[in-house]
Amino acid sequence: MAEQGDAVSATEIATSSVINDISAENKIKAEKFKDDGNDCFKKGHYSEAVGQYSLAIEWNPNVAAYYGNRSFAYLREEMFGSALEDATKAIKLDPRYLKGYYRRAAARMALGRLKQALADFETVVKRAPADQDAKLKFNECQKLYNKKQFEWAIHSEEKQISIFESINPETITVEDSYTGPRLVDGKVTLDFMQQLIPYFKDQKVLHRRYVTEMLVKIREQLVKTASMVEVTVPETSKFTVCGDIHGQYYDLCNIFALNGMPSEENPYLFNGDFVDRGSFSIECMMTLFGFKLLYPNHFFLARGNHETDNMNSIYGFRGEVKAKYSDQMYDIFTEVFNLLPLSHLINRKVLVMHGGLFSKPDVTLDDVKNIERNRQPPDSGLMSEILWSDPQEQLGLRPSKRGVAYEFGPDVTANFCSLNNIDYIIRSHEVKPEGYEVNHSGKCITVFSAPNYCDTIGNLGAFINFTGKDLTPKFVTFAAVPHPNVAAMSYASSMFRMLGG
């Protein structure tokens, strides 16, 4: 990439902080760690790459590229806050380091700060006018910014009308050539589900008439649901909690093979992030919605941070729905996602949510139950935190590396559990090598159910079993199973490529 263009400003020079007494030996050590980080990155081991780049920075904090590389690894981990911070540090060290502007623009875009991202891409274009990739990304960002501005203006001037007021599934004709599963009188039956699963496994598409009918029915069901659903598990009954599945349909089917098909005797809770990244998100979503319609009191779904428009527009769900159906169908899904519950309380002793706990120390279960959820998540507050927060081992709170919500320590968890008289929390949201992790003296459990995440990470998946009488979690781990030759992120948007994908 050419590094030419306008002169560096005095302000930029003044904000650059350089340590001058780095020995040649330390510089060599730093380069070795940087090279090791690059090797980890190429293998898709982004967390390990972050560690190696961090060691490089410890030995020589003067090199902008070390921060730029770590920013790139943070982007791949969706740690957008840390990616933004590192990119800014790289720019301060070397205002001519154009990759720093690329990385910062990517982080800002992921955080929805399109105007600031546009300014960074504009800087790259000015300083490297021959860089065609920079021009392409600047133009794409400009289009996205203009689109969002237009949508904001429309929504500000008009009361938003539900798309469900303008759709009627009965007007959608089912062609004679269609040979797939059919709803009878708009109802999901066990026979329908038994046909649907192998039909999806064969990479066939459910007719849009039936997808629309199911979405209308699931909306009718969810609109009556509280933001926190209370679930009673009988003493002798087994209950299963699953974490993120991220469009990995064949691994979802494997969960059912290992743990039994959903039924009134075999209830499940799937804890958000059903879509994005994996390229079979429609299949996952319609299978889960089907079981929710079939067993409304024994099959539960919680919203994750990826059941949101910003994430869906980047990481593939929007593109997949558009490819398999239409833009209008995506809008229908978006309205349904807005109504998904944010948490589940099991036997009044275990709280399950996608992300984590809160920045305020006095949040009660009633507060959680009363969160206004029928919207896109705001930048801050209870809804944002329950979808985005992560645990940390140090005490207290600190802003999340993701750039949204917080990281909360064992004292925060202990206080929340004591205040609300619960035993522990279950959350998802983070890939774990073994598919699960127990933190905070057993009071905070993470479960992640997408093995070999994005076809690259190599992690196991896991789910949790317990009974109503004994709420002690029992972990079942499993490896990924083969899937058709459609790679993860196949439907990701041009915005993802702008994030460095």
Q: CATH number of the domain at 41, please.
A: 1.25.40.10
Residue 188 and residue 148 share a domain: no
170 located within any domain: no
Residue with tokens 């070397």: 94
2 located within any domain: no
Residue 311 and residue 210 share a domain: yes
Number of domains in the chain: 2
Among 155, 174, 201, which residue terminates a domain? 155
Residue 379 and residue 330 share a domain: yes
141 located within any domain: yes
216 located within any domain: yes
Q: Are 424 and 442 in contact (CB under 8 A)?
A: yes
Residue 62 and residue 198 share a domain: no
- Greatest Cα pair distance, the chain, in angstroms, is 77
Residue 210 and residue 97 share a domain: no
pLDDT digit of tens for each residue in the chain (501 aa)? 333 333 344 334 334 456 778 999 999 999 999 999 999 999 888 999 999 999 999 999 999 999 999 999 999 888 999 999 999 999 999 999 999 999 999 899 888 888 999 999 999 999 999 888 888 888 888 887 887 777 666 555 445 688 999 999 999 999 999 999 999 999 999 999 999 999 999 999 999 999 999 999 999 999 999 999 999 999 999 999 999 999 999 999 999 999 999 999 999 999 999 999 999 999 999 999 999 999 999 999 999 999 999 899 889 999 999 999 999 999 999 999 999 999 999 999 999 999 999 999 999 999 999 999 999 999 999 999 999 999 999 999 999 999 999 999 999 999 999 999 999 999 999 999 999 999 999 999 999 999 999 998 899 999 999 999 999 999 999 999 999 999 999 998 776 665 654
Report d(CA 244, CA 209) in Å as an integer. 28
44 located within any domain: yes
Among 137, 155, 173, which residue terminates a domain? 155
163 located within any domain: no
Could you tell me the two tokens for 470? Answer: 């004994």
Residue with tokens 């035993």: 423
Residue 393 and residue 272 share a domain: yes
Complete DSSP assignment for 341-367: -SEEEETTTEEEESS---SSTT--HHH
Residue 133 and residue 187 share a domain: no
Residue 227 and residue 103 share a domain: no
Residue 423 and residue 323 share a domain: yes
Residue 104 and residue 52 share a domain: yes
- What is the chain's length? 501
3 located within any domain: no
Domain enclosing residue 258, as ranges: 182-498
Q: Interior CA angle at 497 toward 280 and 140, to 5°? A: 115
- Determine the residue type at 254: N
Question: Of residues 306, 429, 440, 483, which has the active-site annotation?
Answer: 306
- Determine the residue type at 327: D
1 located within any domain: no
Among 116, 138, 155, which residue terminates a domain? 155
Q: CATH number of the domain at 458, please.
A: 3.60.21.10
Residue 64 and residue 108 share a domain: yes
Residue 464 and residue 386 share a domain: yes
HSE of 459, CA atoms in CB hemisphere, 13 A? 24
Residue 306 annotated to the active site? yes
